[in-house]
Amino acid sequence: MKTVKIALLGFGTVAQGTFNLLQDNANLIENRSGVTIEISKIFVRNPEKYSHITLPSTAKYVTNIDDIVNDESIDIVVELMGGTTFAKDCVESALKHGKSVVTANKDLLAVAGPYLFDLAYKNKVDLRFEASVLGGIPIIRTLYESLGGNHITELVGIMNGTTNFILSKMTEEGLSYGAVLKEAQDLGYAEADPTADVEGLDAARKLAILASISFNRRIFFEDVTVEGITKIDTEDISYGKEFGYNIKLIGIAKETSKGLSLNVYPAFVPLTHPLASVRGSYNAIYIKGNGIDDAMFYGRGAGSLPTGSSVVSDIMEVAKNIAFESTGRFKPFYFDQKNIYAPGKIQSSYYIRLAVDNKTGVLAKIATKLAEQKISVLSIVQRNKDPETAVLAIVTSKCPHSYILNLIDSFNSLRSVKEVSSVIRIMEA
């Protein structure tokens, strides 16, 4: 039985989950793959930090990346450090030295994925990245292989567990954003600096990767229009429930005759849609294709063992390819033109919350401004906040985003409108 030697770059949460699965399930992995996978080297900055972990006799810590890249006995480099500078240099060097690479680095792939895929093909090695998106959910290989015969028209998903935990808590317990964010940080769901999660950046990187595969375009992070959850208020969540919606941060990529749209934003999801019931730190992705119609994938989007599980699956696949001398078969295919649809032209229904003067005739003025923008009202709720102020919660018909921006300007020009408090998109059922 062939032995394939691997090296781990980094030894943090995901790397240790990968390490544990390779050790604990070694016999199972060997029987299923027909290959013995041996951990040879682990690159770390400070080996003393990991002195409490017992390594197999075959493995050792190294502090110089060249000890891995220049080691001809190592077949697979498993990059689990994160980042886009040193990690990119390491991956690039490994590929050029004829080593296959497995990575969970969504940040790197979102900014340099197409280049690295081309480099892997040029050097007749594999680059696999199942763990880079949605943790333990096997979505990358599903898109490439199981759904490879489908024309994908839309994918929409909850792609960040931290934000879904926050919004679920706000919905179920009526807590403020700030209070739930602190709880998420205390539980380890959110970093001390949660910007990447709560501003939608993490989800945007994942969407760029999935869209590249689904639509055969060279999609990068900067192609995605992004909006975070920091402005979501419990009052909006309450009105959303009344209208029949749950609030979620969604990533959505959609291809129509007008082009490809790529967006991450908080949206009200109809309670009838499967994504509305995804709670806590779980992730889910909903896919439409001309063969499968609709399909949804659900599971843990992060964590040591769930993400490590995806890393191990990639290692097994690459190891089998090495054993059969069949690496480098995957040739990335991309259309020449991205044809990205302008965000302002994307049509959606909207929820709008206004604080207005509690006077006769105000609602008529609001209706006039809506009519001027050719926007009709599907639902409206009015609540008296105090003798001087009323709150209007409005659900509009579908219209381009540019119409909504013009409408907000029109509302702000009215003396009777004290504040346009919230504007939230509504996802189609």
Task: Find, among 377, 362, 367, the residue nearest to 418 by Cα.
Answer: 362
The Cα 164–Cα 171 span in angstroms is: 10
Question: What is the distance between the alpha carbons of residues 204 and 222, in angstroms, rounded to a whole number?
Answer: 9
Q: Catalytic pick from 169, 206, 254, 369?
A: 206
User: Which residues, at least 6 apart from 403, have a Cβ–Cβ distance to it below 8 Å?
Assistant: 373, 374, 375
C-alpha distances (whole Å) from 8 to each of 22, 63, 411 are 12, 12, 57
206 is catalytic: yes
Considering only CA atoms, give the Rg of the chain: 24
Q: Strands, E, within 179-290: which ranges?
A: 225-226, 245-256, 259-270, 282-289
DSSP state at residue 341 = P
Lookup: tokens for 46? 């400070």
| Separation between Cα atoms, residue 162 and residue 177, nearest integer Å | 12
Spatial CA neighbour of 123 closest among 103, 154, 90, 99: 99
Q: Could you tell me the CA-to-CA distances from 59 to 5, 126, 253, 347, 401 in Å, in that order?
A: 10, 23, 43, 55, 56
> 82, 106 in Cβ contact below 8 A?
no
By C-alpha distance, which of 314, 336, 333 is closest to 121? 333
Q: In this structure, what token pair is assigned to residue 36? A: 């013995």
Catalytic residues: 206
